[in-house]
Amino acid sequence: MNDAAPRSAGALLVDALRDAGVTHLFANFGSDHPAIIEALAQDRSRGVATPTVILCPHEYTALSAAHGYAAVTGRPQAVFVHTDVGTANLGGAVHNAARSRVPVFIFAGATPYTLEGELPGSRNSFVNHLQDVSDQHGIVRPYVKWSYDIRTAVNVPQIVHRALQLATSAPAGPVYVTAAREVLEEEARPPVVDVGQWAPVVPSPAPAHTVATIHDALVRARRPIIITTYLGRSPSAVAALVAVAESLGVEVVEINAAVMSFPRDHDLHAGDDPHPLLSDADVILAIDTDVPWVDVIGHPRPDTRVFVVNEDPLQESIPLWYVPAEEHVRADADTMLRQLLALCGDRPTENADDRRRGAAKRARDQRDSWSADAAADEAAGRLTPAGVARALDRLLDDEAIVVNEAISAAPVIWRHLPRTRPGTLYGNRGTSLGWSGGGALGVKLADPRRTVVSIVGDGTFFFSAPSSTYWVAAQYGLPVLTVVLDNGGWNATKRNLERLHPNGVAAQTDQLWVNLGRTTDFGGIAAAAGDAWGHVVDRLEELDDALREGLRRVADGVPAVVTVRLPLISVQAPDALAHGRHPLIDPEPSARSDGAERPSS
């Protein structure tokens, strides 16, 4: 019989997270969290310092940081937000966590369900009434793997462990748990729970006959290719992929690389764009990638044998998605590659050396072409994303971590700042821009001894809640070098307009509404929020020194922002406003219903 003293549901929640190995609470507390706060204070009074609370002035920062931490470690952390409004403030960060398949435990209070003082925690403020919404879970339902409302204190640990078990089982993802104040204040004796019995689902192998089919297809192929995006989430999977590629002589393409999945300096690395290879490929293994190609750009021949291997090979959370394939295989990539490697034997296949020689020449030619283009810009004194990446490549060691959220310039950064070791590159597989603000902090927190450099566009910097980002960086000693590629606007929007309407009025007259201009001091924002060091680079010859100084500041524990001013993508003037006149309550004389002239003042 359990004779432990009763504890509040809030305390049981914190205890369960600690027991499960959660080490950090990224928190933005509110009126729904008194029981949680009291439990943490009691823990501190008895010498229990975990989980560490990291206050985040904005919820987007909190979830992005938890996302970054989980991307590095694979371990879920907790994010605490305030009722419906704090949940709404998570915004696109929930989308990012879902699409990136990172495990995160999100907890939000719910408004009290009594209002006359019937129970401890009853409503005691007007806000408790206004935050009462019909479906708080609906705010995040499309993005979370599971959501639940805790209804009693007696099974809080079981609810927490189930949530984390679901979050960490493949495909991983965020979970969302709520509880009202009355429930959080309720007391119960802690149940006896064996945490070891709540482990995630064991990684799945592929059926043996399917592995044999894929192996035979790769061996017999004339020009096979492997396409991946995030296989490198597991460092051991990188080694397995290298071994399989070498044994079979298969080229590897990293499309929209979210991590380093294949060493960039390897002879079999075929770049980041599979489309030029598709027409010649007769076998394609698409493994751990969401979109192996974009059909309107290019697609395989009808007779190409395609195999899709993924934890979720049908992308069940995406309503419209399909990749026609001979086999869609639900399997863990690392496990499946080791099954494939077992069939490869100790020696390379007969044609592997010939394939590798051809691939090496193509890789060499491709890299030489990239370098020649960048060198020509540098010779002309032009500041470009490629030049920034090349400068960083000269300054960073192989262990430095690059966070790439440069959006339209992301492929250029990837090409000229190659990463060759697992765990040295992180990107956001989601599409809510600004993730890198908090995300880079989570990466730094997870691996504090390594240099972290985040590369963003000016538009992305705005989206990242920078005042919150740099406050957290300074408060908790998480120095990151942020390099802002400032082209004065949202280039991704411009590019998409030009793709669809290349000869339209908007493209021809620079009426794009993407122009952010040169009015923002990005380093100044970071300095105001978190005592960061900032510098603006206007000329190519200043670039290396500025980046070198930024890295020195970061090494000294100071966040740094280097803004690199690139050519403007638009010079469109903003729409003029009718200053001094409200168009509805003070219309033009011709718009007055009585037709009378308005006297001048």
**Which of the two residues, 590 and 474, has the higher pLDDT score?**
474
User: What pLDDT was estimated at residue 583?
Assistant: 54
Compute the average pLDDT of residues 287-295. Answer: 97
pLDDT at residue 587 is higher than 90 = no
pLDDT at residue 601 is higher than 80 = no
User: What pLDDT was estimated at residue 585?
Assistant: 57
Compute the average pLDDT of residues 314-330. Answer: 97
pTM, full prediction: 0.94
**Buried b vs exposed e over 348-382: b needs ≥16 C-beta within 10 Å?**
ebeebeebbeebeebbeebbeebeeebeebbeeee
Compute the average pLDDT of residues 173-183. Answer: 98
Compute the average pLDDT of residues 195-221. Answer: 97
How many structural domains compose the chain? 3
Q: Tell the residue number behind the tokens 């009015």, with chain if given.
A: 519
Residue 40, judged by CB atoms within 10 A of its CB (0-12, 13-18, 19+), counts as buried
46 within a domain of the structure (yes/no): yes
279 within a domain of the structure (yes/no): yes
* Gap between the Cα atoms of 68 and 402, Å rounded: 12
Select from 148, 176, 198 the last residue of a domain.
Answer: 198
Q: 516-566, pLDDT tens digit by residue? A: 988 899 999 999 999 999 999 999 999 999 999 999 999 999 999 999 999
Say if residue 324 is in the same domain as residue 411.
no
* Gap between the Cα atoms of 417 and 375, Å rounded: 14
Say if residue 144 is in the same domain as residue 78.
yes
pLDDT at residue 580 is higher than 70 = no
Name 162's Cβ contacts closer than 8 Å, sequence gap at least 6.
198
pLDDT at residue 443 is higher than 50 = yes
Say if residue 93 is in the same domain as residue 216.
no
Percent of the chain, pLDDT > 70? 96
318 within a domain of the structure (yes/no): yes
258 within a domain of the structure (yes/no): yes
The pLDDT confidence band at residue 121, using thresholds 50, 70 and 90, is very high
Say if residue 31 is in the same domain as residue 176.
yes
* Contact by Cβ (8 Å): 356, 249: yes
Compute the average pLDDT of residues 15-41. Answer: 98
Say if residue 114 is in the same domain as residue 229.
no
Say if residue 302 is in the same domain as residue 185.
no
Say if residue 66 is in the same domain as residue 142.
yes
1 within a domain of the structure (yes/no): no
Name 84's Cβ contacts closer than 8 Å, sequence gap at least 6.
108, 111, 131, 133, 136, 139
Q: Three-class SS of residue 147?
A: strand
Q: Which H helix or E strand runs over 8?
A: strand 7-8
DSSP secondary-structure letter at 258?
S
Structure tokens at 127: 């806000």
pLDDT at residue 376 is higher than 50 = yes
Sign of the C-alpha dihedral computed for residues 293, 294, 297 and 303 taken in this order: positive
Compute the average pLDDT of residues 436-449. Answer: 98
87 within a domain of the structure (yes/no): yes
Q: How many CB atoms lie within 10 A of CB 328?
A: 18
When the pLDDT of each residue in the chain is averaged and rounded to a whole number, the result is 94
Q: Three-class SS of residue 371?
A: helix
* Contact by Cβ (8 Å): 160, 16: yes
pLDDT at residue 595 is higher than 50 = no
User: What pLDDT was estimated at residue 4?
Assistant: 86
Complete DSSP assignment for 156-194: HHHHHHHHHHHHHSSSP-EEEEEEEHHHHH-EEPPP---
Domain hosting 318: range is 208-363
CATH code for position 489: 3.40.50.970
The pLDDT confidence band at residue 347, using thresholds 50, 70 and 90, is confident
Say if residue 352 is in the same domain as residue 252.
yes
Structure tokens at 126: 């007007």
User: What pLDDT was estimated at residue 116?
Assistant: 96
User: What pLDDT was estimated at residue 578?
Assistant: 75
Percent of the chain, pLDDT > 90? 92
Structure tokens at 402: 């690059």
CATH code for position 266: 3.40.50.1220
Select from 133, 167, 198 the last residue of a domain.
Answer: 198
Name 290's Cβ contacts closer than 8 Å, sequence gap at least 6.
99, 229, 315, 318, 429
572 within a domain of the structure (yes/no): no
* Contact by Cβ (8 Å): 350, 365: no
User: What pLDDT was estimated at residue 584?
Assistant: 54
Say if residue 96 is in the same domain as residue 150.
yes
Say if residue 249 is in the same domain as residue 319.
yes
588 within a domain of the structure (yes/no): no
Say if residue 186 is in the same domain as residue 240.
no
Say if residue 267 is in the same domain as residue 174.
no
* Gap between the Cα atoms of 314 and 321, Å rounded: 8
* Contact by Cβ (8 Å): 288, 229: yes
* Gap between the Cα atoms of 318 and 290, Å rounded: 10
Select from 198, 230, 256 the last residue of a domain.
Answer: 198
pLDDT at residue 310 is higher than 90 = yes
